[in-house]
Amino acid sequence: MKKIKYIFLCLGVVIMIAACKNFLVTTPKDGSVSSANYWQTTAQFDSFMFGIYQDLVSGVSNMLILSELISQDGQTSGQIQVPLTQYMSASRAEFSTHWNMCYDMIGKSNTLLSYLPTASIPDADKTRLEGEALFLRGYAYFTVAAYFGNAPLVLKPYEPSQVSLNSTSRDSLFNQAIADLTKSAIEIPTIAQWGSDNLGRATKGTAYAILAWANMYIKNWAAAEAASNSLIALGTYNLLPTVRSVFSEWNPNSIESIWETQNQNIADGKLTWSFHEGGTVLEAWTSPRSIGYQWAVGGGWGELVATPKFAASFESGDERRVEMVKKPGEKYKGEQMTDTCLLPMNVENLSTFSTKYWLGPGTLSGESYYGQEDIPLMRYAEFLLNYSEILFMEGKTGPAYDNLNKIRARAKLAPLPAQTDQTVFINALQRERRAELNFEPNWWSHFTRTGTAAAYVQSMYGETWNATWNLYPIPQSERDQNPHLSQNPGY
C-alpha cells in the first residue's frame, strides 16, 4: 500500500491551500506542516481539507478515460482499441491511479479526523469539518468497494503496520462507506449554507446522492429511495433546459450540478482543485487530432475520441447526438470558436468526437493545454436515472418511467410507455445512461453493477466480456509491496 505508506508520515510533504474566501493562499508560506504550527484554527483545517479535493484531480479524468476505453466506445485517434484481454491487466497504470486516488483521500481524511476532537475551534466548525471529511472518506471507500472489491479498511492515521494489511471484504467496505455518508449527510452544509465562496465543496445533496448510489450496490432499495427523497426535499437541483447548456462554459456549478470538479481559472477567485491555471486536458484530448489552434486547445490532440458505432447508436432526433457528438463531415461551432468548424472526412479511423469538453481554442494563456471545463462527478440527470432504477426496484413502475422520461424529454425524444418487465426497463435505462452520461466518469460502472456489460460489449463491438472484469484488478504495484493484498479472481 504505497500511497498509505507515504500519506503524511511527517506531515510536511504537501502544499496547503487556505480556505474561506481565498483557497489559494499557502499557509504557512513555505508549505510545511507540523503538529506544532498546524491544527490550531478552522482555516488550517479547511486548508488541509482542500488537499483532499486535489487528490481527485487526476483521478477523475482517469475514471472517465477508463469508462470510455473499457466500454470500447473510446479510442485513441489513429490507433486501434487495445483488446480487453490486454487492457484489463493488474500492471496498467490507470488502475494504480484510481486506487491511489482513493487511498490518498482516505489517508488524509483519517489524519484530519484524528486532530479534530481536540482542536480549539468552534463546535459548529468541528461538526461541519467532520461531515465533509466523512463524506470524502465515504466516497473514497465507496469507490474502492464498487470498482476493486475486497481491499484494506483503514480508519486511523498512518502506522507502519498499514503497509501489510490484509484485504477486508467488499461488504465491509460498503458498510463503512454508507456509515460515513449517512453521518456526513446530517452534518455537512447545504449549498446555501456553504455560500458562494465555497462552490465546489461537497454538500448535503452530494452526500445524499452518493449514499443512494452506494445503497444501490448492496440492493438496499428502501435506503436508496430514502436518501433520494431527502435530496429531492432540499429543493436545490433541477435539469437545465437543454443538453448543450449542461456543458456550457457559462454554467459551472449550475442547478443541475450535484458535484463537479473545479477547474476554473485561478483569477476567477473560486476554489480550484488543481495546481495549474485551469485543470483538465480533456479539451485538448477530446478534440480532433491536429485540427488546428483556431479550433482546439493545443491544436487538438485526439487522445480520447469515440468510435463510429457510438455515434450511430443514438435514436433518430436525439438532441444529445445533434449537439454533443460530431462526426466527420459535420459542422460544429463551439462556444470558444469565432467561426464554424467543418470536421474533415479523412479523420483517422472515422473517429467521432464528444463536445462536452471540446469548446474551441480555449481562453487561457501560459499553460494553454489545460482547460477550465469542470468534470461532473454527479449531476441531477444521473441522479434521476438512478432514482428511476430505485423506484422500479421498489415496485413503483409508473414513477420510475416518469423520471426516465424526464431525461428523454430534454433530449427531444418521445416518452417510453411504462412496462413492468424488468429486462425491458433495465435495457431502456441503460440506453439512456449511455446516451446521457457518455464521456463522464460514472456511466460504465452502472453496466458492471447491473450485469449488463457483457451484452453491451457483445452487441456493440462483438467482444466477449469476462465477468472477472466487473471488478478492476488490484494493482500489481501495490501487491508487490504488500503480499497480503488478495487479487480479484481471474487476474
Report the share of the chain in percent with pLDDT over 90: 75
Residue 63 domain-assigned? Answer: yes
Residue for grid cell 486516488 = 101
Report the share of the chain in percent with pLDDT over 70: 87
Tell me the angle at which helices 380-393 and 422-437 cross, rounded to the nearest 10 degrees.
170
Poorest-confidence range of 66-75, 258-267, 445-454? 258-267
pLDDT confidence band for 119 (50 / 70 / 90): very high
Poorest-confidence range of 18-27, 140-149, 201-210, 368-377? 18-27
Question: Is residue 366 pLDDT above 80, yes or no?
Answer: no
Are 15 and 29 spatial neighbours (Cβ–Cβ below 8 Å)? no
Are 254 and 240 spatial neighbours (Cβ–Cβ below 8 Å)? yes
pTM score of the predicted model: 0.91
**pLDDT attached to residue 440:** 97
User: pLDDT, tens digit, for every residue of 452-485?
Assistant: 999 999 999 999 999 999 999 999 999 999 999 9
Residue 120 domain-assigned? Answer: yes
Number of domains in the chain: 2
Average pLDDT over residues 420-433: 98
Q: What is the Cα–Cα distance from 448 to 384, expressed in whole angstroms?
A: 19
What is the residue-wise DSSP string for 134-200? Answer: HHHHHHHHHHHHHHH-SB----SS--GGGGGPPPB-HHHHHHHHHHHHHHHHHHSPPHHHH-GGGTT
Boundary residue ending a domain (188, 207, 228): 188
**pLDDT attached to residue 264:** 59
Residue 391 domain-assigned? Answer: no
Residue 462 domain-assigned? Answer: no
Average pLDDT over residues 59-82: 85
Q: Domain of residue 98: give its range.
A: 2-188
**pLDDT attached to residue 268:** 46
Largest alpha-carbon pair distance within the chain? 65
**pLDDT attached to residue 455:** 97
Residue 412 domain-assigned? Answer: no
Grid cell locating 55: 487528490
Question: Is residue 369 pLDDT above 90, yes or no?
Answer: no
Residue 361 domain-assigned? Answer: no
- Helix-strand-coil split of the chain, %, nearest 5: 50, 5, 45
DSSP β-bridge partners for residue 280: 371
Q: For the chain, give the mean pLDDT.
A: 88
Boundary residue ending a domain (188, 222, 253): 188
Residue 144 domain-assigned? Answer: yes
Residue 401 domain-assigned? Answer: no
Q: What is the Cα–Cα distance from 177 to 211, expressed in whole angstroms?
A: 8
